[in-house]
Structure 1
Amino acid sequence: MHKFRARLTLIFILLIGSSVLVAGLFMAKMLRDSHIDALKANMQRELKVILVSLNWKETGTEAEQIQYFTDQANRLKSSADARVTYIREDGKVLGDSDHDVETMENHLTRKEVIEARDTGVVGSDTRYSTTVQRNMLYVVVPVKSDGNGSIKGYVRLAMSLEEVEASILQVWYAVLLGLLTVFIIAGLISYRVAYGITRPIEMITRVAQQITNMNYKARVHVRKKDEIGQLGQAINRMADSLHLQMNRILEDENRLKSVLENMISGVMMIDRDGKIVLLNRSGEDILGFSAQELLGKKFDEAKQQFEFTQLIQECIDLKEHIRDEMIFYYPSERILEINLSPISHTEDEWAGILIVLHDITAVRRLERMRSEFVANVSHELKTPIAAVKGFAETLLAGALNDKETAKSFLQIIFDESERLNRLIGDILELSKIESKRIPLQFSPISLHSFVNNCLHVVQAEAKKKSIELEMQVDETMYIEADEDRLRQILINLLSNGINYTPEGGKVKVKVDQLAGDGDRAEDERIRFTISDTGIGIPKKDLPRIFERFYRVDKARSRSSGGTGLGLSIVKHLVELHKGTIRVESEVGMGSKFIIELPIIH
């Protein structure tokens, strides 16, 4: 901008200086022409006077004529104050006041002589005289015969132009001085004008550069109402519009980024060159590679599963939507639903592929569990129904006549009906718990009396097997929980302990209060430990102990009347209380179920 200002100032100076210079040249030429015209007019008048008194000598020898005209020229020089020359009609110089005529050239070809001869009145010329070595003004008039008016010769006056040139030189000095003054004044004015023009432009340029550098808060502060002011206002309006649009774009970008980063599904984008250009956080988790490792690489060089790479290549070749399910073994074994959609800006312009990865491992597991659940329910229902049907048929076939046999069969039918009723009840209960249709009614519970009442409920069952029941609970300990559901949890675990503990064994309930990490009150918990001296659980069965219908000892479970749903119900009820449950057990050493429930303040 400084260079532009300097150039603009120079242009103004040159324009003004050129104008002044041209005016000076024109004025000098006019002055010179005016001086020369005035001299020429004076010289013409003097020549006319000379012609009136002139006696043109035509007799005598040439030497006599030369002497005569030389004397005449010398005599007239003092009065005319000019160089006087007499020229014969053939151009021969007969007399000159300033120079020897013998050494002078023939003057017939001189411009002023030719003009006087052609016009018959007067001729003039301005040129450098080699004779007197200065610029001279020459004026010539023809000398005519009285009779026929033919030209006998010429009288020429020559005057030096030194005075004229001195006057012109003074004019040039004045012009140059004026030009220098004009240059200085013009420079100052031009700089001020250029500054006034370029300063707002410089500000506008600076603001435009800041806007280019994404500083959309920059504004032009120009108060002028001219075109530059209008340009500044247009820049400000453009900045406002850009600021608003960029804010919207950033908001949309942040929303899109937030959506992509928080999507459960993995998203990958591959451009037209086959390079990976986008991978969200879920995609990183699913594929086992960070975005930094994959971005910019070609999909077939990104160390991905061969079947996945083939699927991408197929979508590129067909340019059609592809959906498929595939088992991925890295970083862990999972089942993925893969959707590949071609991207195109227009109908003919291929832009790449958008890949969406859904981890459906849990869905497929749930489907498998649902199938297993239906199969197990069908099996569990079929067993008592088959027993009831079989014994009923036997009774109808004639066993009613044997009262003892009939009574035994009817007892079996009753027991199987009870078992069927419990099974259906547990299934319905589990269904309601899993769908969270059971509202919990929290209330303060004194754990000492609560545990004591639970032990009293199973006391008769334990007494049949001579099993000792023991509790270790502080009398001052309380908890906020749903009393009925907590009782269901405890009695279920106590019944399991009694069922799987041999005669003469022991079942114990211990309740402890645990402090939170860093003594934080909100992390305080109550721990229930229900332990027995029973047969224990094999290590391989521990991970599945809380699954529906899963039994470690199927024969014994059925003989004890268990449905296989008790521990699953317990686990869901504990989770409804925001608690956790785990089991520790060794075969032959008994089992220990540990429940931790948060204390609600």
Structure 2
Amino acid sequence: MLNSLKQVTYGDEMMEAVADAMPLPLVVVGRDERIMAANAPARTLFSEAMVGRHYITVLRQPMLLDAIENVLRLSEPAETVYRITESQRELVYDVVVRPVTVADFACVTVAFEDKTELNEAGQMRRDFVANVSHELRTPLTAVLGFIETLLGPASEDDVARKRFLEIMSREAQRMNRIVGDLLSLSRVEAERRVRPTDQVDIPAVLRSVVSSLHPVAEAQGVDLILEGADGTEEVPGDHDQLTQVFTNLIENAIKYGGRDKEVHVCLTSHTVEPTMRSSAIRVDISDQGEGIATQHIPRLTERFYRVDSHRSREMGGTGLGLAIVKHILNRHRGRLRVESHVGQGSCFSVILPYE
């Protein structure tokens, strides 16, 4: 038992050196139940003035205190979980408590391993699977229901058959768009650490995208205006992915900007871009639509997040477009900025570094 062991006095400098050699937060508790040493990560996690205090007054959480007490009493290893909330984010640590005995010296080490990102990634995967299941279940249920109706009561009704087949076609197309966007998102994420090196002429990309979307704009009565894209401005990038970025953003502006309005696509070059701390090219895509409430803006790039779910689905949205944009721009070391005011329209800005 640790309580039966004699404790010799080791210099504070030696204990601090041993603790500081650990990259993880580490706390050393002596036989007298006082904290003998704590490295810098541990002091940041708990308190700068924790050394010399009783461990109960610093560590506080019951599960952690019970684990330390059991190790002090029984000299057997223990493990537990330590959770705290910081800036509205839950931090999770796996804690390993071990007895240490060297000659006549005994203590207990308490090591904290940050599992926050791993837990968040697991939660994101679970949410993602749930969202995909939900998004696909609705059109799939509709298609199955119409098939059952066509095989039964409406088998001889030509009018009903045509109407049901049209609805089934729309729902099948919606599922196809969701699967296509999921595959696109997967490809982008697989390449997220590989920075593209080809030179891409951004004005040429914008001219091509605007030209291809003019029929969509005309159908909505939208005047699509391109400014500042007459010359040549090259940045390192992936041509197809940047084309996808601008297609998604301009198409969104046309769809949600309202009929008989204007959508402006404006390209500018900045010698010093504050958000990049270097020279960059900036493309602003602004509409005259209803605008987006402030509370929605931080979540726009989340997968399947929609400000207006019903309206988005009616317009063929999958809820993945802005998530794809964010991941592509991350790969290009770029930025996406959103400014919007309810009733005054929105502006989505793409910022890409020259180097």
Call closer, same or farther: CA 1:379–1:461 in 2, change over 3 Å. same
1:312-334: CA deviations, max 9, x gaps?
33432232222112322468742
Per-residue CA deviation, residues 369-390 of structure 1 (Å, 9 max, x unaligned), is: 2211111111111111111111
TM-score, structure 1 normalization = 0.52
Match of 2:129, as an amino acid? V
Q: What is the aligned counterpart of 1:544 among 299, 302, 315?
A: 299
Counterpart selection for 1:384 from 112, 130, 139: 139
2:249 aligned partner: 493
The structural deviation recorded for 1:557 is 1.1
Q: Which residue of 2 aligns with 1:267?
A: 26
Match of 1:447 in 2: 202
Contact 1:381 1:420 in 2 (8 A): yes
Is 1:479 the equivalent of 2:238?
A: no
Pair 1:257–1:567, CA change in 2 (3 A): same
* Equivalent of 2:79 in 315, 318, 323: 323
Equivalent of 2:39 in 280, 285, 289:
280
Distance 1:286-1:435 versus aligned 2 partners, 3 A rule: farther
1:60-107 alpha-carbon deviations (Å, 9 max, x no partner): xxxxxxxxxxxxxxxxxxxxxxxxxxxxxxxxxxxxxxxxxxxxxxxx
Query: 250, 255, 258: which one pairs with 1:502?
Result: 258
User: The residue matched to 2:80 in structure 1 has which SS?
Assistant: strand
Aligned to 1:396: 151
Per the alignment, do residues 435 and 285 of structure 1 end up closer, same or farther by CA in structure 2, a change over 3 Å counting?
A: farther
Structure 2 CA distance for aligned equivalents of residues 550 and 517 of structure 1? 29
Secondary structure at the counterpart of residue 319 of structure 2: coil
| CA-atom RMSD in angstroms | 2.7
Aligned residues: 337
How far 1:469 moved relative to its partner? 1.0
CA contact (8 A) 2:290 2:343 kept: yes
Shift of 1:572: 0.4
Note the residue ranges of structure 1 that are not aligned, 5 or more in a row. 1-249
Query: 2: CA distance between counterparts of 1:305 and 1:593?
Result: 47
Structure 1 equivalent of residue 11 of structure 2: none
SS where residue 340 of structure 2 aligns? Answer: strand
Deviation at 1:311, TM superposition (A): 3.9
Q: Which has the larger Rg? A: 1
Q: What residue number does 2:96 align with?
A: 339
Contact persistence 1:341–1:354 (CA under 8 A): yes
Q: Which amino acid counterpart does residue 434 of structure 1 have in structure 2? A: E
**Equivalent in the alignment of 2:3:** none
The alpha-carbon distance between structure 1 residues 257 and 306, as it changes in their structure 2 partners (threshold 3 A), is closer
Question: Partners in 2 of 1:417 and 1:511 — Cα distance?
Answer: 37
Per the alignment, residue 422 of structure 1 pairs with 177
> Deviation per CA, 1:294-327, whole angstroms, max 9, x where unpaired?
223332344x434344543343223222211232
8 Å contact from structure 1 (residues 432, 438) kept in 2 = no
AA of the residue aligned to 1:402: D
**Residue of structure 1 aligned with 2:341, choices 586, 594, 599:** 586
Among 295, 320, 344, the alignment partner of 1:565 is 320
Q: TM-score, normalised by structure 2?
A: 0.86
SS at match of 2:253: helix
Q: What do residues 186-209 of structure 1 show as CA deviations (whole Å, max 9, x unaligned)? A: xxxxxxxxxxxxxxxxxxxxxxxx
Quote the sequence identity (%).
Answer: 33
1:162-201 deviations in whole A, cap 9, x for unaligned? xxxxxxxxxxxxxxxxxxxxxxxxxxxxxxxxxxxxxxxx
1:318 is aligned with what amino acid?
L
Q: How does 1:158-197 map to 2 (within 5 A)?
A: none
Higher relative contact order (CA 8 A, sep 6+): 2
Secondary structure of residue in 1 paired with 2:198: strand
Distance 1:363 1:441, change over 3 A: closer
Contact 1:571 1:581 in 2 (8 A): yes
The letter of the residue matching 1:570 is: V
Q: In the superposition, relative to structure 1, how do residues 536 and 314 fare at CA in structure 2: closer, same or farther (>3 Å)?
A: farther
Alignment-derived partner of residue 363 in structure 1 = 118
Q: Which runs of structure 2 are paired with 1:13-162 in the superposition (5 Å)?
A: none
Tell me, yes or no, if the aligned pair for 1:343 and 1:351 is still in contact at 8 Å: yes
Residue-by-residue CA offset, 1:504-546 (whole Å, 9 max, x unaligned): 122221222222389x9x8211122221112222212122111
Q: Distance in 1 between matches of 2:99 and 2:72?
A: 7
Change (3 A) 1:258 1:436: farther
